[in-house]
Structure 1
Amino acid sequence: MKSAMLAGVFAVIALVNTSDAATSTCPTPQEIKQKAMGSGGYRYEMLQPDGRTWSGENPQATASYLTDSTFHDARYDAINQAVICTYKGPMNNAASFSVTLKQVSGWNLTPIGDWRGTYCEALEIAKCLFTHH
């Protein structure tokens, strides 16, 4: 009886611990907002539903970088607890920028997708899903 109750308690704890985990992926270029910086280039931002912000900047960017670029890769930086998403222009032209989501604790890749360790390169953003707290 005690072992059955204990197993039930552990199951509830496991559910509670995973219930606050979120599944995310890099924003699509259409979700990212672009703002000109005073010194030249552009700043990129996307607000997530949980209130956290993806952000990045490229001081050499032109206005067309956002529309010219597509998703290229995602990587997790364990030292800074951040996920960095990179977007590149066609045929590796100069159009490229990155956005970063910081303070990503409890990061883990999803078992479905194109992750190789902490790096994911894919044509589709959905192949680079990750979970976090």
Structure 2
Amino acid sequence: MTMKKLAAITVILSALAGNAFADIAMCPQKSSIKQQKEAEGWSYSAIGPNGRLWVGENPYAEEEHLETFKFTGALYRDVSSEGNTDVVSCDYEGDDWFAFARLTLYSFKDWASVPGTKWKSQSNNVKDGTHKKAKTIETCESLSQEECAFNYSSLVKPQGKATADN
């Protein structure tokens, strides 16, 4: 292979690698979370990247719980229990026993943790609950959304979970 061809291939690969991630995302700030009364408890939503919605619910929640929410960490799964790929969930806890919510955004392409953040790979020895189908699980234990930032190339339409943007 000539040096010219090698240089051209290197430039093309560098350009492609440089564009692999389109954006950086973070879990929503508490102030952007909206709640809606349901038959049992409350549902929660927040505007995410490209106008998509982070969604979650808590059938045991009370109206005042949202006021006490604090971000407590995030979870990435390559496959959700509904079969969606590259799913990120953000956890919030409040002052009361049932004051909590997990907001999830479905589905990212080319998810990756941002270098320097607190994402850690987890083994998936337990095959139950939300981890049943996942092969790759990463958690971010932090009280700061910035420390749980992540990269992605695009969002795709969810497969199995009904959301406001389906």
Work out whether the TM-score is over 0.5.
yes
Q: 2:114, 2:150 within 8 Å by CA — same for their partners in 1?
A: yes
Equivalent-residue separation in structure 1 for 2:70 and 2:35 (angstroms): 15
- Counterpart of 1:112, as a letter, is G
Structure in which a larger fraction of residues adopt helix: 1
CA shift, 1:105, in A, is 2.0
Say whether 1:115 aligns with 2:119: yes
CA deviations over 1:92-133 (Å, ceiling 9, x no partner): 733111100011221111111211120011121111011112
State the match for 1:95 in structure 2: 99
Q: State TM-score, norm by structure 2.
A: 0.72
Instruction: Evaluate the alpha carbon distance shift between residue 17 and residue 116 of structure 1 in structure 2; reply closer, same or farther with a 3 A threshold.
Output: closer
RMSD of aligned residue pairs (Cα, Å) = 1.5
- SS in structure 2 at match of 1:122: coil
- SS in structure 1 at match of 2:57: strand
Equivalent-residue separation in structure 1 for 2:87 and 2:103 (angstroms): 10
State the match for 2:34 in structure 1: 33
Q: Which structure 2 residues correspond to residues 57-68 of structure 1 after superposition, within 5 A?
A: 57-68=57-68
Equivalent-residue separation in structure 1 for 2:13 and 2:43 (angstroms): 46
Instruction: Tell me which stretches of 4 or more aligned residues in structure 1 moved more than 6 Å.
Output: none
Q: Which of 4, 7, 10 is the aligned partner of 2:7?
A: 4
State the match for 2:25 in structure 1: 24
Q: 2:117, 2:147 within 8 Å by CA — same for their partners in 1?
A: yes
Q: Identify unmatched segments of 5+ residues in structure 1.
A: none
CA shift, 1:79, in A, is 1.3
Instruction: Evaluate the alpha carbon distance shift between residue 65 and residue 132 of structure 1 in structure 2; reply closer, same or farther with a 3 A threshold.
Output: same
CA deviations over 1:15-69 (Å, ceiling 9, x no partner): 3333xx22111101111111111x1311101112402110001111101111111
- Counterpart of 1:33, as a letter, is K
- SS in structure 2 at match of 1:54: strand
Say whether 1:51 aligns with 2:51: yes
Q: 2:60, 2:98 within 8 Å by CA — same for their partners in 1?
A: no
CA shift, 1:88, in A, is 0.6
Q: State TM-score, norm by structure 1.
A: 0.88
Instruction: Evaluate the alpha carbon distance shift between residue 25 and residue 49 of structure 1 in structure 2; reply closer, same or farther with a 3 A threshold.
Output: closer
Q: 2:43, 2:56 within 8 Å by CA — same for their partners in 1?
A: yes
CA deviations over 1:68-102 (Å, ceiling 9, x no partner): 11001100021122111110114x73311110001
Q: Identify unmatched segments of 5+ residues in structure 2.
A: 81-85, 122-137, 154-166
Instruction: Evaluate the alpha carbon distance shift between residue 16 and residue 94 of structure 1 in structure 2; reply closer, same or farther with a 3 A threshold.
Output: closer
